[in-house]
Chain A
Amino acid sequence: MAKIVTPFGPQHPVLPEPLQLNITYEDEKVVSVAPAIGYIHRGLEKAGELNDFPQNVFLVERVCGICSFMHGMTYCEAIEDIMGVEIPPRAKYLRVFYSELSRIHSHLLWLGLLADAFGFESLFMKYWAIRERIVDLMEMTGGHRIILSASCIGGVRRDLTDEQISIIEKTLLEVKNELDHVTPVILKDYTVKKRTVGIGVLSKEEALTLGAVGPVLRASGVAQDLRQTGYEAYGELGFEPIVETDGDSYARAVVRAREVYQAIELALEALHHLPEGEAQVKVKGNPNGETIQRVEQPRGEVLWYVKGNGTKNLVRMRVRTPTYAHIPALLKMLPGCEMADVPVVTLSIDPCISCTER
């Protein structure tokens, strides 16, 4: 059988962002894959050395639209760590709340995109309609529908009023009820299973040696989630990672579908236990030293390295995002799949190329 090579992307209906996979097929079966990125490299790490370090909060929120708050939060944690700043307890709980709001928003977006990838348009629209409720909450609290800009060095600059908390709690419970009608479709529907079960399998050993993170790692049977380390207020809220063992596209969908419920519970818990007091402390001086901070984003572990030299400009600012870690794993998942499965498998890592290239 003759082999043919066809490009998947950089423009493709299932890819909101440009990623190219040059795929070698034998008949309709994938034999090998060569990735090509570089379409949206913006040099954000270099820009982070040129800005004043407080300005970087707004820059790093633009590494990724979906994970904007969590990039900003991790960067702030790094600066706070170097400068020895202890943020108020209220800020820690607010950071958990905003993080989980981001996770709900991200997973609902992805579940809709997955449905869209295999042509289940009504399910796609259902998920995105529910997601609108979360985006409305983001606008009400953070002031913007997508870029959730609430973190600052020293805490959180978008505190919540009692009235806002009441609206949030009511909305999250309504979202949970709406999900009860939609989630069984992802978990049980014949069409969904037909397109995802046994497709793009990544074993536990492969997931670890290829550096997979987040839902991809947990769907392959590795019970690892950085929230287990108890950063911010997670240590006080009680947390167990959601794990599946089959390592296929279906398992990755199930992990995310279950994590939406878990994120709603964590967000509500954070609001329920929200301490009184200030949400931020004033920070004076410039960072002098280096640190590594990691948090669990919706797509998985993100790592921030920051180094300062006592001036207002940083010596180095570096981020390793989850999708960056998933490219090698994707190259392992695709060979052996059918051509028609390539969009679903590619989407199953929840690719964010904006994050990857920075």
Chain B
Amino acid sequence: MSFEAKQITPEQLINETQQMFNEGYRFVTATCVDEIEQFRIIYSFDRETELVNLEVAIGKEEQLPSVSGVYLCAFLVENEIKELFGVNISDIAVDLGGRLYMIEGADPHPMTRKEKKKAAKGVKKNG
């Protein structure tokens, strides 16, 4: 399976990203995965078609620094993750304030997952 990621902490994120920048990597994207109890954010970088991933796991209420200070182009995907998942990303270079896709009054953070509830045994359906 072709997925490998270096595990880092939120505190290491900016330094690790700066190192990727200094080594000439192109920022590809960031991918947020809602693991119910926490978020995993996978940052992908490319250099001459070699893909390198950094992975950060954070609690749902924790704050994550923005990497847009290093790679300005990350502002778009960080706005998306903040808006659709509710990840608390701070200091995004261009913060669109939750209005990248969603309109005012829409249900917030539609990409979050909820634990599926199992139906209780022996419960009769109405009708």
Chain B residues, CB < 8 A from A131: none
Q: Mark B109-122, 1 if CB is under 8 A from A, else 0.
A: 01101000000000
A177 at interface by CB-CB < 8 Å: no
B95 at interface by CB-CB < 8 Å: no
Q: How far is the CB of A341 from chain B (nearest CB, A)?
A: 22
Contact count band on A: 35 or more
Alpha-carbon distance A57/B56, docked complex (angstroms): 29
**B residues at A contact (CB < 8 Å):** 1-3, 21, 24, 26-29, 31, 33-34, 42, 44, 46, 48-49, 51, 53, 71-73, 75-77, 99-103, 110-111, 113
Chain B residues, CB < 8 A from A208: 24, 26
> Which of B34, B49, B111 neighbours the largest number of chain A CB atoms within 10 Å of its CB?
B49
Asked if A46 contacts B73 (CB within 8 A), the reply is no
Asked if A224 contacts B48 (CB within 8 A), the reply is yes
Asked if A46 contacts B33 (CB within 8 A), the reply is no
With A81-B2, A224-B49 in contact, do A209 and B71 touch (Cβ < 8 Å)?
A: yes
Asked if B101 contacts A210 (CB within 8 A), the reply is no
**A residues at B contact (CB < 8 Å):** 37-38, 41, 43, 45-46, 49, 81-82, 84, 208-211, 224, 226, 228-229, 289-294, 301, 303, 305, 307, 315-316, 318, 320, 324-325, 327-329, 357
Asked if B76 contacts A226 (CB within 8 A), the reply is no
Asked if A357 contacts B101 (CB within 8 A), the reply is yes
Alpha-carbon distance A229/B2, docked complex (angstroms): 13
Q: How far is the CB of A354 from chain B (nearest CB, A)?
A: 13
Alpha-carbon distance A315/B113, docked complex (angstroms): 9
